[in-house]
Structure 1
């Protein structure tokens, strides 16, 4: 077996607010918004919006009623710390940075070399509108 991720599903506080952000963000990563599907899964009591790509499906999900007022914190046990997407070049990281600024992402760290990880670790860090942290990284020399 190869460690390939088939899909990712993230629970967001407000699916309507999040959808507007993810419609734009996922296009930056190469998703075609026309492939977006919405559903209500009655037996699990949640709404889901799934964005599909030939390499990965990415979904956002509404919270359970009991958790809808909880704050998002990546340091809580069981929480997603951050999710990193691999870019093929530093210019892809730079272009993503410019587009992310345009759509209102909170930039945590502009594109730069992070020598604490390696000599060629070029990354930007940002948060979505709900405080979920992401990274776009290139480990090539250029």
Structure 2
């Protein structure tokens, strides 16, 4: 088996607010939002919006009513600390950054080298409107 992720499903605080963000963010990664589907999963009491791509499905879901007022904290046990997407070049990281500036992405740090993570580690870190942290990273030596 290869360590390839089939799908990711993230619970967001406000599905309507999150959908506006992910409709703009996911195309940066190559998703076509025309391939977006919605469903209500009655057995689990949540609404889901799934964005599909040939390599990965990415879904956002509503919280359970009992947790709707909870805050997101990536340092809680069991929480997603952050999710990193691989870029093919530093230019892709820079281009993604420019696109992120066009909508409600909260930039944590603009694109830069992180030698503490690896000799050629170059990334931008940002958050969605609900405070979920993401990264777009290139680990190649240079753009060639």
Distance 1:112 1:50 in 2: 31
State whether structure 2 residue 89 is matched by structure 1 residue 89.
yes
- What root-mean-square deviation, in Å, do the aligned CA atoms of Structure 1 and Structure 2 show? 0.5
State whether structure 2 residue 59 is matched by structure 1 residue 56.
no
Distance 1:131 1:139 in 2: 25
Gaps of 5+ in 2: none
Matched residues, number: 142
State whether structure 2 residue 20 is matched by structure 1 residue 27.
no
TM-score where L is the length of structure 2: 0.98
Distance 2:15 2:100 in 1: 19
State whether structure 2 residue 41 is matched by structure 1 residue 41.
yes
Q: Which segments of structure 1 move beyond 4 Å, counting only runs of 4 or more? A: none
TM-score where L is the length of structure 1: 0.99
Instruction: Give the deviation of 1:118 after TM superposition.
Output: 1.1
Distance 1:97 1:131 in 2: 17
